[in-house]
Structure 1
Amino acid sequence: MTQTLEIRPDNPHRKAGRPRANGVKASTATRHDILNAAAALFVARGFAGTSTQAIAAAAGLRQPTLFHYFKTKDAILDALFMLALAEPLAIFKRIEALPGAAPARLYAAIHADTLSLSNTANNVKAVFLLPELGHPRFAQARAARERLIETFARLIAEGIASGDFRPGDPARLARLVMSLDEAPVALAAGEAPAQARMVADFALSALLIAPERLGAIRDEALALMSE
């Protein structure tokens, strides 16, 4: 069963706008309704197999109303990519600037990224698996995702240099960590924190020369995240 991506409107107070297909006035949340519908359809049918007419119908809109918010189907997918990336980018920037050893900051980044994705339905994670992400027309979203991977790589390189992590290629290891974060795993309500800890524990255990230090690193990371 396809889950619905919970994209909440910036302004919860709905105001009249263009009419929906059922005659009800569209609201300021219509953009988010379109993204919700599109995410579910892209995952279920693929990007190429989803028409703007189908997205409009799933959102309860007429097609001209959809084009009022998004000129093209590409613009909808690009908005989904950037929406999903906005929070992790802000979190990574803050975590990388924090004091502390690389293992604790890497744990915090992995935990935060996994938690951010786990707190949404699976559609947003599965959207990142769409092959269209590699197309030149989505270069902005791909570059933003690469910035997340580069943060992982810098922290891994720092940990290798300090003797905390096993030797390896930081860039390749960073991509492996990102693949763990983005794995589309269905969760029951309230399971996101446990999954975030599991992914971060697994990644750090694999990287650490002394895995028995994991508990202390986890505690340090969680303290950093609470600052």
Structure 2
Amino acid sequence: MGKNVTGVGRPRASGAAASSRSAREAVLEAAGELFTGAGYAATTTRAIAERAGLRQASLYYHFPSKEDILAALLAATVRPSLDVAGGLSGGEAPAAARLWALAYADIRLLGGARHNLGALYLLPEIASPNLAPFRAERAQLKSVYRDLVAETGAPAESIGVRANLVFGLVESVAIIRRDDPVLDVEAHAVEGADGVLRLAGLPEPGAALRTTARALLTRS
């Protein structure tokens, strides 16, 4: 991990400005940059507040602890995909198209976010009791993948293994991005979604399936 970053931030806000939604977003933006750059353990709430242009007391108004900031950042890596999954459920589209669509959207979320927050999944702090809601949401997303793999007709005895591999492939974009910060997100999302279908035991996806899957995302 890198050294703690405590450079001069923007002018410190207080009062109404410090309690605004923009202040909360400034904290998350600053923390995302520092956690993925300097490292979670090396980053202090003081450093986050300074980078966000806030007094430390204002930061605590929005987030009682550094772990609460981490929880909010991690939630943003799964909730949008759960929303996509909800929009894809109960439709008449083939399971293969829905699985491709979810994987494509998920990889784009993790690969295209301003900061590589998916890399934070490797932190030992993930096991903290305070992060149980994040772990539950991530498990819920994984169960959606498992259900879609099952819908594709995978043999019952292999569904669990294939779902694990599928989920691992999707989340691996965070590791790839760590090693290649300028990766082509769109190309990785398409190839990754194609790979997800292969892991599910399905034939090589063609242009027609991809078009159907993208159309599902515009409606979800």
What TM-score comes out, normalization by structure 1 length?
A: 0.77
What do residues 191-223 of structure 1 show as CA deviations (whole Å, max 9, x unaligned)?
433221111012212333433x54443233223
> Is 1:203 equivalent to 2:196 in the alignment?
yes
Q: Residues 86 and 209 of structure 1: is their aligned pair in 2 closer, same or farther, counting only changes over 3 Å?
A: closer
The structure with the largest helix share of the pair is: 2
- Supply the distance in 2 between the matched residues of 1:97 and 1:174 (Cα, whole angstroms): 20
Contact (CA 8 Å) 1:34, 1:66: kept in 2 or not? yes
Change (3 A) 1:69 1:24: closer
Q: How does 1:50-65 map to 2 (within 5 A)?
A: 50-65=43-58
Pairs within 5 Å for 1:178-193? 178-182=167-171, 183-184=173-174, 185=177, 186=180, 188=182, 191-193=184-186
Deviation, structure 1 residue 50: 2.1
Distance change >3 Å, CA 206–CA 23, structure 1 → 2:
closer
In the alignment, is residue 219 of structure 1 matched against residue 208 of structure 2?
no
- Identity between Structure 1 and Structure 2 (%): 32
Matched residues in 1 for 2:146 and 2:82: separation? Answer: 15
Q: d(CA) in 2 for partners of 1:226 and 1:23?
A: 40
Runs (4+) of structure 1 exceeding 4 A deviation are: 165-168, 186-189
Which of 34, 37, 40 is equivalent to 1:44?
37
Q: Which runs of 5+ in 2 are unaligned?
A: 3-8
2:217, 2:133 → 1: CA distance?
A: 28
Segments of 5+ residues of structure 1 without an aligned counterpart are 3-19
Question: What residue in structure 2 maps to residue 103 of structure 1?
Answer: 96
Q: How big is the shift at 1:145? A: 0.7
Determine helix, strand or coil for the equivalent of 1:65.
helix
Q: How many aligned residue pairs are there?
A: 203
Contact preservation (8 Å) 1:103, 1:159: yes
Q: Once the two structures are superposed, what CA deviation does each residue of 1:87-106 show, in whole Å capped at 9, x if it has no partner?
A: 11111111122212211111
Match of 2:76 among 77, 80, 83: 83
Q: How much does 1:36 deviate?
A: 1.2
Return closer, same or farther for 1:205/1:152 CA change in 2, 3 Å cut-off. Answer: same
Which residue in the other structure is 1:17 paired with? none
Partner of 1:131: 124
Please tell me the root mean square deviation across aligned C-alpha atoms, in Å: 2.6
Report the counterpart of residue 67 of structure 1 in structure 2: 60
- Please name the residue that 2:5 is paired with: none
Q: 1:30 to 1:166 in 2, by over 3 A?
A: same
* Letter matched to residue 163 of structure 2: A
CA distance in 1, matches of 2:211, 2:81: 21
| Cα 1:174/1:224, change in 2 over 3 Å | same
Residue number among 133, 145, 149 corresponding to 1:152 in the alignment: 145
